[in-house]
Amino acid sequence: MKKFEVQEDFLLDGKPFKIMSGAIHYFRVLPEDWYHSLYNLKALGFNTVETYIPWNVHEAKEGEYDFSGRYDIKRFVETAEELGLLVILRPSPYICAEWEFGGLPAWLLPYKDMRIRSSDPAFMEKVSRYYEKLFEVITPLQLDHGGPVIMMQVENEYGSYGEDKEYLKLLYDLMLKLGVTVPIFTSDGAWRATQEAGTLTEANILTTGNFGSRSKENFKDLKDFHESKGKKWPLMCMEFWDGWFNRWNDPIIKRDGQDLAHDVKEALEIGSVNLYMFHGGTNFGLMNGCSARGRTDLPQVTSYDYDAPLNEQGNPTEKYYALQKTMQELFPDSEQQEPLVKDSMDLKAIPLNQKVSLFSVIDEIVEKQQAKYPETMEELGQQYGYTLYRSRVKKDSNEEFYRVIDGSDRIQFFFNEEKKATQYQEEIGEKIYIAPKNDVNQLDILVENMGRVNYGHKLLADTQQKGIRTGIMSDLHFILEWEHYCLEFTKPLSIDYDKKWKENTPSFYRYTPTIDEPKDTFINMESFGKGIVLVNGFNIGRYWNVGPTLSLYIPKSLLQKGENEIVVFETEGIWSETISLEKEPKFKKL
């Protein structure tokens, strides 16, 4: 049986071993494309793949577990093994990763007395129950059990969050109890403060650093920290940042390929490296994270291209070939292959087939929930997407004002199905003036969860509970008797397009392209406002005309030969009589 050890070097079967790893998140790449991405990693001459494991996809509803299909971590690891790759797993409760709520399931939020990412017994009880299911799947995949997994992580960048050593010890002990026998590590910033806060050196847990440049300085800081604890551990950068993620209404972030290759070479001459990301992939559905910035949070885009060595669809970029040359220089005996490249397709001017207003079909596609006061998404059993709040209000005067008190993240206010206001974060709570004409009027508020923060102190903030947290006021009093409609878009919807469409209301637009030979493609959304796209019932993610991305990636596996269905849920009333599928992504210059 093979063995991996952490001594003064990494040892594989007793021999020094340099980890050359790349991050590929199985949950951001569809299973049909796992082989393609993993092959290209191996073809570069790398020997290991790393992935996080997000809690919120494996236990999307409390007590219900899913390790199949897109979330079949066992199959992903086995595919890597078939290609001769070793595997690093990061199965911590929190992953950051620019992923919704840092991978924590949003159903934790209604437990108001629970403190997440802490030794709070209530939180640890939830973690323990999940871990029991998760480690049943991943423990048999360890190297000394005959699998390819060489290391696992405890928590993630905890030194940038807390210093609850009891919490780290509870997680570590739980992992041992559930059968983890490979070395366990932490990953934090390389400087002393984060290393000190985020580690358990007394438990002999390897500490690694995260950085993307200045390798000599960062590795020196890491080595100094090791020595201060009496350790002579091997040096590893667990996240060597080769690009960066992108936010709405911000320019695309790029990094020069030659600059990256130079810095990676410097790092590999000193220690081991895991490129973050090697293939970024896509935040399919509604799983993008959000950056916390003062009062205004900054949601991230659907694409997780990351300017990585493989682009969003998994094809090699200029960075890939620059790294290929670096590997040839450093390790001339390493085995390299030509990378795999997928084709893309164009299909222009696909005509609109049908359209219908959300208000016309809401009672048929979503089960109504009623309550005296508005309830948050989480209280309604919803985690992602949109919630429509509806009430009827009597006319009190010829000019009235309304206020949404304490809501997240973005609201659209409709009065008798006429849009009166759009408010986003810092504007929510401002007065909305209405001149009612009817004695009784229909009030609709569509609230969008644009993504929970994935890093920092705001993980604990009330704002991570989405929807309306306090209520809606008319004049100086709260309005009662509310109907709630939860739109998560996690399952296909049966929509009656024969019903009424009304201009400037949230609506569904249906297109039915016939495709002779399905290939990867990008749907151009520059003629639309804001919303999501469903391809044959699968939610491929959000679009928004503020940019920087103006298209969405559609993998070949989502398309079928013959007729396909593309449904655009558009909230701004900005739509097009045609759509186009294109070979390349579309961007907005900012």
Terminal Cα-to-Cα distance of the chain (whole angstroms): 55
Catalytic (active-site) positions = 157, 239
Strands 410-415 and 440-449: antiparallel
Residue 201 CA to residue 196 CA, distance in Å, equals 9
489 sits in the region (left: phi over 0; alpha: psi -120 to 50; else beta) called left
Whole-angstrom CA distances from 251 to 244, 374, 547 are 11, 37, 8
Q: By C-alpha distance, which of 212, 200, 73 is closest to 134?
A: 73
Strands 272-279 and 20-24: parallel
Listed in sequence order, the residues at least 6 apart from 96 whose beta carbon sits closer than 8 Å to its beta carbon are: 102, 103, 156, 157, 289, 454, 455
Q: By C-alpha distance, which of 61, 577, 567, 579 is closest to 361?
A: 567
Decide if 219 contacts 235 (C-beta within 8 A).
yes
157 sits in the region (left: phi over 0; alpha: psi -120 to 50; else beta) called left
Residue 455 CA to residue 300 CA, distance in Å, equals 12
Residue 162 CA to residue 143 CA, distance in Å, equals 31
Whole-angstrom CA distances from 243 to 39, 211, 302 are 21, 11, 16
Residue 128 CA to residue 156 CA, distance in Å, equals 17
Q: By C-alpha distance, which of 166, 245, 162, 237 is closest to 207?
A: 237
- DSSP symbol at 590: -
DSSP output for 399-435: SEEEEEEEEESEEEEEETTEEEEEEEGGGTTS-EEE-
Tell me the two tokens of residue 566: 């593309």
- DSSP symbol at 41: H
- DSSP symbol at 496: -
Listed in sequence order, the residues at least 6 apart from 320 whose beta carbon sits closer than 8 Å to its beta carbon are: 40, 44, 309, 310, 339
Decide if 542 contacts 246 (C-beta within 8 A).
no
Whole-angstrom CA distances from 287 to 156, 297, 426 are 19, 16, 23
Give the number of residues written for the chain.
590
**Helices 73-82 and 34-43, interaxial angle, to 10°?**
40
Listed in sequence order, the residues at least 6 apart from 15 whose beta carbon sits closer than 8 Å to its beta carbon are: none
